[in-house]
Amino acid sequence: MRISDIAFEATDWSGITPTRHPGLSGEAVWRTRHVGPADNPIRVRMVEYSPGYVADHWCQKGHVLLVLEGELETHLADGRVFTLKPGMSYQVADGAEAHMSRTATGARLFVVD
Distances 7 to 3, 58, 88 between C-alpha atoms, Å:
11, 33, 28
| The CATH number of domain 37-112 is 1.10.287.110 | no
pLDDT of residue 5: 84
* Domain extent listing, the chain: 37-112
pLDDT tens digits along 82-101: 999 999 999 999 999 999 99
Provide the phi-psi class of 102: left if phi over 0, else alpha when psi is between -120 and 50, else beta.
Answer: beta
Is the separation of the CB atoms in 72 and 41 below 8 Å? no
pLDDT of residue 1: 63
Mean of the pLDDT values across residues 3-30? 94
80 forms beta bridges with none
